Amino acid sequence: MMKPDWKVAGLCFLGALLFWLMNALNKQGYSTRLAYPLQVAYDDSLYVPTSPLPRQIQANITGSGWDLLWRMISLGNEPIRYSVINPLNTKFINTTSLTDLLSSRLQETQVNYIIADSLDISFERRVVKTVKLVADTSRVKFPNRFVISTVINVIPQTVTVEGPESAMKEIPSIIQIPLPRKISGDFDEQIPIPLVSQPNINATAQQVNVSFEIAELLSPLPVKK
């Protein structure tokens, strides 16, 4: 009795599997869920988003097995550009417009519908403000009989801040830079600028340099009458 040739049997099975797979991929009517990159375009000189903009869309598409397989493994697809004409009055991305845009890009497949998850958008007017920076020495304790003996240098003296209108209302025209509670010698340090802690607020500087010298009084300060 001859022993079975498992190598030949394996090759025959692999060949049959490939034939079945090739035949299946050639058929039409398959449906799948496709993630496709999205770019939301707007006038960023006038408006700013108050929540993260969607970076991709989810769509249900139908086509041949080969087309769907190619779309699923494709890398570097050029994003669909969706323009927001009136950002202040636009609260969501229109799925009908997205369907049309995606259909024109995927002409070999049928776009059935866009899955409308996380397509909400929100914008506010972009506000730009120039803020003056001032060192706050009111709470600083120096060694006994020591005082500030030079001009307090604040560099930069102003900072430009921009962000959504609602958040910018909390930014004052003058920002006090808090100094350490105890200073025992000449001072020259970088200090963070206290701003509203929101990710969509930007400033031309995040830190300010404050420097000055202190000296001991040789005689008591005159008492005001």
Torsion angle in degrees (nearest 10) through CA of 195, 45, 55, 115: 110
Task: Say if residue 150 is in the same domain as residue 178.
Answer: yes
- Shared domain for 112 and 133, answered yes or no, is no
Q: How many whole angstroms separate alpha carbon 186 and alpha carbon 188?
A: 7
The pLDDT score that the predictor gives to residue 62 is 81
The whole-number pLDDT of residue 160 equals: 95
pLDDT at 126 over 80: yes
Can you give the pLDDT at residue 172?
Answer: 92
Same domain, 92 and 162: no
76 Cβ neighbours under 8 A, 6+ residues apart: none
CATH number at residue 172: 2.170.120.40
Q: Compute CA distances 195 → 44, 157, 162, 167, whole Å.
A: 22, 15, 11, 10
Is the same domain home to 49 and 111? yes
User: How far apart (Å, rounded) are the C-alpha atoms in residues 28 and 68?
Assistant: 10
Work out the angle at residue 132's Cα, subtended by the Cα atoms of residues 205 and 137, and round it to the nearest 5 degrees: 100
d(CA 59, CA 106): 11
- pLDDT, tens only, 168-202: 998 999 999 999 999 999 999 999 998 866 678 89
Residue 9 domain-assigned (yes or no): no
pLDDT of res. 25: 44
Do 184 and 137 belong to one domain?
Answer: yes
Mark which of 69, 92, 121 sits at the end of a domain: 121
In this structure, the answer to whether residues 114 and 131 fall within a common structural domain is no
Among 68, 96, 64, 72, CA closest to 82: 96
Would 194 be classed as within a structural domain? yes
Question: What ranges in 28-172 are assigned the alpha helix state H?
Answer: 65-73, 95-105, 165-168
**pLDDT value at residue 222:** 61
| 38 and 112 fall within a common domain | yes
Residues 31, 117, single domain; the answer is: yes
Residue 20: its pLDDT value, please?
A: 44
Position 83 in a domain: yes
Question: Among residues 178, 181, 183, which one has the least CA distance to residue 143?
Answer: 183
Residue where a domain terminates, one of 121, 151, 183: 121
Total tally of structural domains belonging to the chain: 2
70: confidence class by pLDDT, cuts 50, 70, 90: low
Peptide bond into 156 cis (omega under 30): yes
Cβ neighbours around 169 below 10 Å, total = 11
How does pLDDT run across 202-213, given as a tens digit for each residue?
A: 999 999 999 999
Backbone conformation region of residue 118, classed left if phi is above 0, alpha if psi is from -120 to 50, else beta: left
pLDDT digit string, tens, across residues 76-112: 578 899 999 999 999 999 989 999 998 888 877 788 8
* Sequence-distant (≥ 6) Cβ neighbours of residue 113 within 8 angstroms: 59, 60, 95, 99
Please check whether residue 145 lies inside any domain of the structure.
yes
Tell me, yes or no, whether 4 lies in a domain: no
Q: Is the pLDDT of residue 124 over 60?
A: yes
pLDDT confidence of residue 17:
46
pLDDT-based confidence at residue 113 (cuts at 50, 70, 90): confident
Q: How confident is the model at residue 117 (pLDDT cuts 50, 70, 90)?
A: confident
Query: Among 121, 136, 155, where does a domain finish?
Result: 121
Q: Identify whether residues 184 and 203 lie together within a single domain.
A: yes
User: 184 and 134 in one domain?
Assistant: yes
Domain assignment present for 6: no
- Write phi, then psi, for 63 (nearest 5 degrees): 180, -170
Q: Looking at the structure, do residues 156 and 99 belong to the same domain, yes or no?
A: no
Q: Which residue has the tokens 């929100």?
A: 122
Q: What's the N-to-C CA distance of the chain in angstroms?
A: 126
- Using pLDDT thresholds of 50, 70 and 90, give the confidence band for residue 115: confident
Does residue 140 have a pLDDT over 90?
Answer: yes
**Which range among 58-62, 65-69, 194-198 shows the weakest confidence by mean pLDDT?**
65-69
Q: What are the pLDDT digits (tens) for 17-59?
A: 444 444 544 556 667 778 889 999 999 999 999 988 999 888 8
Task: Please report where in the chains the tokens 């398959």 appear, as a residue.
Answer: 30
Structural domain contains residue 78? yes
Q: What is the mean pLDDT of residues 153-179?
A: 94
pLDDT value of residue 60 = 83
Residue 94's domain comprises 26-121
131 and 212 both lie in a single domain: yes
Judge whether 99 lies within some domain: yes
